[in-house]
Each structure stands twice: as C-alpha cells, then as structure tokens.
Amino acid sequence: MASIPPKPENPLHLHTTKLTLGCPILDSFLGGGIPCGSITELVGESSAGKTQLCLQLLLSSLLPPSLGGLSSPSLYIYSEPPFPLRRLLRLSLPSLPPRPLDHIFVRPAHSADDLLSLLSHLPDSLPVRLIIIDSIAALFRSEFDNTPRDLKSRSSLFFKIATKLKDRARKLGAAVVVTNHVVDVVEAECGGARCLWSSGRRVVPALGLAWSHCVNTRVFLTRSEGMVRRSNGEECEVRTRRMHVVFSPCLPERSCEFAIVGHGVLGVG
C-alpha cells in the first residue's frame, strides 16, 4: 500500500524562536518578541527610539531562554559614530551575566561594500545569535546617484547584503535587526510604498521598494510632541512614541505606545 505523503506545513505556523525586547508589553505586541531566522527592520525619524531598542536587545540576547533571551553574544554594526556606550551602560535588565559588555561585539561599517565585506568574513565560529545594523540607510546615503545604472548597482548590493544576513540567521537561528531612516514625501504619490506619518510629516522608509523586499518584518516608530495640563493647571510638553507593525508574515497591522526612560524602553499598557 502506498504511503500517504505528509501534509506540507505552513511555514507561518511553525514554531519560531523569539528574542525578548526586555518588556512584557512590547513582547506581547510583537507576538513574543523579535523573530529569529529572519530580518526585522526598525524604521523611523531621528529620535524615534530605534537605537534605544537596539541597545536593549543587545542585553536581552544575553538572558537565558527561560527569560526570553538567547544566552548568546551579539554583534552590533554601526554606521553613524560614535557607538552609544554611555547609554548602553545606563540600561539594565534582571539576570544579566557578569560583565555583559564582554559578550557584545562592536564593529563600524563605513560603506555598503564595507558592510558586505564584514558580513562575508564573519567566522562561523563566532557564536552570535543577534546581529544589529544601525543604520542601513546611512551606508547608502551618498554613494549612489539617482541614475538607472547606480540604482541597479544599489539594488544588487541590497540583495547581496540581505542574502548574507538571512543565511546567517537561518544557520544559527539568529535574530537580525536593521534600522532605517525615513524621507519626506514630496510627490502626490508614495512611489508604490505605503505613506506613513510622524511628527506631522508624511514620510516613507528610505531606500525604496527594492530594500523593502529584503526585510521580513517592518516596524515603524513614530514620535509626536504635545502639551498636557497638569493637575495644578500648568502645561508641560510631553513626547509620545508609538510602534506600528507595517508588515509581517505572522502579525496583523497594529500599534502600541511606548516610552524611553532612564533604564530602558517600556511599553505603555
């Protein structure tokens, strides 16, 4: 009797290891945390909280799996110096190992080719399960003109970099996080990309559609400033930040509020 072939599984329903963001509210919002084995992009304007979240993830990666961590060192690649060491030292999470900075590898990247070379020469013995690139947009800011030839070369670099990152993510079960900037929308159309709003501006993620096809999950961070009246009648300025899921293979579009405080990034319930 011929055996019945197994029913193919939907990859979206397979168990995926998640890396905690260091906050139960944010973890719940993202379905458990940052997914391993794929690329997650944090996109937003300056001071939206992208780097703050990345620094917190560096510490989260060191936590044991029972607390949502990976018990693993991490690699932080920065393209806009200086590395924010002072801010990292102010962050705190419970149950961190002694001397956590000994488990965080930091490397600069000065261009897109520099990043590709760095990723190509990462030894397989380097046991990092979190790779952060902050930011990907800065590497392409001035290297390419808006000509068909340069745009083609830029897209080719996008796909080479994304392939290196995804291969590493799948082999090691690593989480890959990249940050991206936004640019103002000046035309009537958004060029095929979904228009977003931040600080009263209509914006789209930098690097265009070609790069958007390289990431698996896009999370948009926004900030807005306003005045609130205290109980004593005085007004004070407050800054509200929100996190929006723009697209994801396993999450619906939704948003939540978060705050940046002295010891870290926290969701607001």
Residue 71's nearest CA partner among 7, 27, 19, 34 is 19
**Which residues in the chain show pLDDT less than 70?**
1-15, 142-146, 187-195, 225-238
Q: Would you say the pTM of this structure is higher than 0.95? A: no
SS3 call for 209? helix
The whole-number pLDDT of residue 202 equals: 86
The whole-number pLDDT of residue 226 equals: 56
β-strand pairing of 235-247 with 217-229: antiparallel
The whole-number pLDDT of residue 269 equals: 75
Interval 173-183: pLDDT, tens: 999 999 999 99
**Residues 122, 177: Cα–Cα separation, whole Å:** 17
Say whether the peptide bond before residue 205 is cis (omega within 30 degrees of 0): no
The whole-number pLDDT of residue 10 equals: 42
**Residues 251, 29: Cα–Cα separation, whole Å:** 9
Give the dihedral sign, CA 243/244/249/250: positive
The whole-number pLDDT of residue 1 equals: 43
